[in-house]
């Protein structure tokens, strides 16, 4: 067992790359503060490398940070247990006495089961799941927690692929991005009607191989807003309905874009709602948008896959050190303090309720060990940290696709998305 340690006087850095995951392509190394290490670019050979990002005018520091309304105290996990290929929905409200609510079998046999990237699956409620159909990637389906009662929510055309979707926590609306042979379309489904909100450039295949992308859609926790980002390739943010980063009202009306918030940023990714305020990552760090404007929350921090605690008070994320090893951190919205959660290397963090954080352990690769384009690898072990005591213990859960409640969304469901061409 280990204890977490506070981060004092350290600026956490990660290169801004073309995706939110640990295997992201990146730009040149950067050092932002005294004692801060520079980060070398890394990523899959099939991913585009970025040129040096355009400078972004620094936003003013945020004052009081937003907090979300407390969510349900029930804690559920959609995950996989050690020694099994089955995906289960597990109630971990009492962490000492977990209960399996439903088993779905090896419903996603195509998924990588070792690296910890998320699946195209959401816990839409404690009793229902929504996911993209691997046999027909243009379809969105719904079922009970045990896989029964399956029905199709969206039936798309052959050759299309839903690349990201989000479920409204308030009223059951959903939004999704679908890549067609000619365009990337953003849809909103409300009151049974499917509306096209915006059309942007088609995403081309890269050798039919998996790609890590910063493509995502998400609802605010209070359902007042929804957002989309699509920086599959870095560059100009665009404007209006063609912008790569858009914020809209729940009725679909456009209210802000990357051009109006951070016009010179080459990448906007890792969106996270806290109430009606949207946190996002850009070239300068972590910014926050609200109806009052935008401000800077964590300058120079390049977080990966942030999650909001169910009580709305903390954000867990991971980032990368100068050696390429990732570490899990906790950001307290009240004190604006950042603490390291993983005793050593760790990534793919999730909240299990508001008291516990789960993560996958990571270590640096040996001098003669082949780890592909990465300089670190997962150990095969997962841990749960008690945020009250700081004690970590090994977990039977070895993979998490989603949790409930998840008030900030999204779950980065597109992390191993494959272009529709790869299915043909």
Interval 191-231: pLDDT, tens = 888 999 998 888 876 544 444 557 889 998 888 899 999 88
Reply yes or no on whether the pLDDT at 184 is more than 50.
Answer: yes
User: Which pLDDT band, with edges at 50, 70 and 90, does 240 fall under?
Assistant: confident
Collapsing DSSP states into helix, strand and coil, what is residue 420? helix
Where are the extended beta strands (E) located within 127-212? 128-133, 136-144, 151-154, 161-167, 174-179, 183-190, 193-201
Q: Which helix (H) or strand (E) holds 297?
A: strand 293-299
Select the highest-mean-pLDDT range: 53-62, 364-373, 395-404.
Answer: 395-404
Reply yes or no on whether the pLDDT at 122 is more than 50.
Answer: yes
Query: Tokens in use for 88?
Result: 């289960």
Query: Tokens in use for 66?
Result: 């937003």
What gap in Å lies between CA 140 and CA 155, rounded to an integer? Answer: 7
No. of helices (H) and no. of strands (E), the chain: 1, 29
Confirm if 376 and 60 have CB atoms less than 8 A apart. Answer: no
What's the structural domain count of the chain? 1
Domain coverage including residue 78: 5-423
Mean pLDDT over 264-269 rounds to 86
Q: Which helix (H) or strand (E) holds 397?
A: strand 397-404
Mean pLDDT over 37-46 rounds to 29
Query: Tokens in use for 289?
Result: 């948008």
Residue showing tokens 């926790």 = 221
Reply yes or no on whether the pLDDT at 144 is more than 60.
Answer: yes
Q: Is 248 exposed, middle or buried (0-12, 13-18, 19+ CB in 10 A)?
A: buried
Residue 417's pLDDT is: 37
Reply yes or no on whether the pLDDT at 48 is more than 60.
Answer: no
User: Which pLDDT band, with edges at 50, 70 and 90, does 245 fall under?
Assistant: very high
Nearest to 305 by CA among 269, 337, 340: 269
Nearest to 400 by CA among 128, 139, 140, 119: 119
What gap in Å lies between CA 348 and CA 214, rounded to an integer? Answer: 16
> Sheet of 216-219: strands edge to edge?
216-219, 225-229, 245-249, 254-257
CA angle 246, 166, 53 (to 5 degrees): 40
CA angle 40, 119, 156 (to 5 degrees): 115
Q: Which residues contact 149 (CB under 8 A, 6 or more apart)?
A: 143
What gap in Å lies between CA 163 and CA 418, rounded to an integer? Answer: 8
Is the pTM for the entire model greater than 0.85? no
Separation of CA 304 from chain center: 7
Confirm if 187 and 195 have CB atoms less than 8 A apart. Answer: yes
3-state secondary structure 322-342: CCCCEEEEEEECCCCCEEECC
Reply yes or no on whether the pLDDT at 22 is more than 90.
Answer: no
Percent with pLDDT over 90 in the chain: 37
Residue 391's pLDDT is: 93
> Any idea how long the chain is?
424
User: Which pLDDT band, with edges at 50, 70 and 90, does 319 fall under?
Assistant: very high
H-type alpha helices, 183-332: 258-261
What CATH number is associated with residue 217? 2.130.10.10
The Cβ of residue 86 has, within 10 Å, a number of other Cβ atoms equal to: 12
What gap in Å lies between CA 341 and CA 339, rounded to an integer? Answer: 6
Collapsing DSSP states into helix, strand and coil, what is residue 34? coil
User: Which pLDDT band, with edges at 50, 70 and 90, does 153 fall under?
Assistant: confident
Residue 213's pLDDT is: 58
Collapsing DSSP states into helix, strand and coil, what is residue 140? strand
DSSP state of 313: S
């Amino acid at each position: 067992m280990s204890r977490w340690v506070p981060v004092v006087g350290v600026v956490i850095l990660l290169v801004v790359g073309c995706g939110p995951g640990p295997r992201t392509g990146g730009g040149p190394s950067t050092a932002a503060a005294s004692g801060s290490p520079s980060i070398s670019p890394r990523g899959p050979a099939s991913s585009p490398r970025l040129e040096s990002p355009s400078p972004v005018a620094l936003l003013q520091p945020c004052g009081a940070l937003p907090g979300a309304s407390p969510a349900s105290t029930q804690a559920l996990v959609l995950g996989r247990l050690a020694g099994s290929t089955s995906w289960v929905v597990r109630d971990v409200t009492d962490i000492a006495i977990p209960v399996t609510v439903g088993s779905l079998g090896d419903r996603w046999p195509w998924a990588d089961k070792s690296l910890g990237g998320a699946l195209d699956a959401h816990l839409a409620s404690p009793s229902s799941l929504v996911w993209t159909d691997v046999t027909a990637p243009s379809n969105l389906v719904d079922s009970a927690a045990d896989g029964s009662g399956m029905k199709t929510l969206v039936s798309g055309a052959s050759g299309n692929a839903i690349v990201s979707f989000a479920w409204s926590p308030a009223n059951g609306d959903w939004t999704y991005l679908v890549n067609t042979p000619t365009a990337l379309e953003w849809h909103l489904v409300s009151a049974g009607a499917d509306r096209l909100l915006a059309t942007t450039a088609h995403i081309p295949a890269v050798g039919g191989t998996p790609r890590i992308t910063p493509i995502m859609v998400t609802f605010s926790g209070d359902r007042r807003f929804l957002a989309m980002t699509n920086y599959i390739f870095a560059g100009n943010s665009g404007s209006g309905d063609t912008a790569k980063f858009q914020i809209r009202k729940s009725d679909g009306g456009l209210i802000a874009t990357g051009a109006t918030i951070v016009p010179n940023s080459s990448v906007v990714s890792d969106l996270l709602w806290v109430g009606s305020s949207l946190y996002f990552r850009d070239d300068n760090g972590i910014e926050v948008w609200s109806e009052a404007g935008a401000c800077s929350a964590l300058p120079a921090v390049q977080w990966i896959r942030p999650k909001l605690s169910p009580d709305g008070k903390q954000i867990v994320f991971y980032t990368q050190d100068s050696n390429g090893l990732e570490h899990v951190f906790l950001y307290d919205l009240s004190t604006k303090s950042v603490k390291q959660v993983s005793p050593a290397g760790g990534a793919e963090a999730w909240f299990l309720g508001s008291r516990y954080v789960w993560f996958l352990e990571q270590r640096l690769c040996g001098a003669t060990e082949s780890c592909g384009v990465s300089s670190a690898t997962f150990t095969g072990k997962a841990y749960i940290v008690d945020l009250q005591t700081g004690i970590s213990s090994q977990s039977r859960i070895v993979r998490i696709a989603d949790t409930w409640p998840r008030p900030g969304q999204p779950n980065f469901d597109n992390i191993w998305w494959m272009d529709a061409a790869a299915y043909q």
